[in-house]
Amino acid sequence: MTETFSDHTTRLLDRAEKTCAARGVRLTGLRRQILGLVLEAESPTGAYDLLERLRASRGPAAPPTVYRTLEFLQEQGLVHRLERLSAFVGCVDAHGHDLGHPVQFLICRTCRKVTELDDHDLADALAAAAKRVGFAVSGATVEAEGVCAECAGK
């Protein structure tokens, strides 16, 4: 049995599949399903939550199955791991699958809503600050915690 995803998520999955094919890798049925579960989640989702949802639709599955799939999806730039939350968010739509795009997240500590930014100025400022101390940044994920506008208004 496989998941049925929203039309929006199905379009994103189809786009991800084309991106993978262009890179010479496959978005297998399992990879597609796990990416769909991440994309459909209302908030960042953890590997064990994904495992439970996968078991509900596919039957027995082991943690390494989910972790290997998430690793592939990260390598392809289709999901990001939020270290602070030990959870994953999808990244199919926003950046055209640019593997090197700046990654910054605003995490609401009240509702756990995550907003991804694409701020090249922030990435450039970090690279410049690192360069001043003789360090070359090859990649960075910025996670800022606070309160979103909706929660602040309550």
What is the dotted CATH code of the domain comprising 1-93? 1.10.10.10
The CATH superfamily assigned to 102-154 is Ferric-uptake regulator, C-terminal dimerisarion domain (3.30.1490.190)
The CA-atom distances, in angstroms, between 89 and each of 1, 35, 37, 55, 135 are 24, 9, 10, 20, 29
Using an 8 Å Cβ cutoff, are 34 and 88 in contact?
no
Global pTM reads 0.84
pLDDT in tens, the chain (154 residues): 457 899 999 999 999 999 999 999 999 999 999 999 999 998 899 999 999 999 888 888 889 999 999 999 999 989 999 998 999 999 886 555 556 677 899 999 999 899 988 888 998 999 999 999 999 988 888 999 999 999 999 8
The full set of domain ranges for the chain reads 1-93, 102-154
Give the start-end residues of each E strand in 26-125: 79-82, 87-90, 103-108, 114-117
What is the rounded CA–CA span in Å between residue 151 and residue 109? Answer: 9
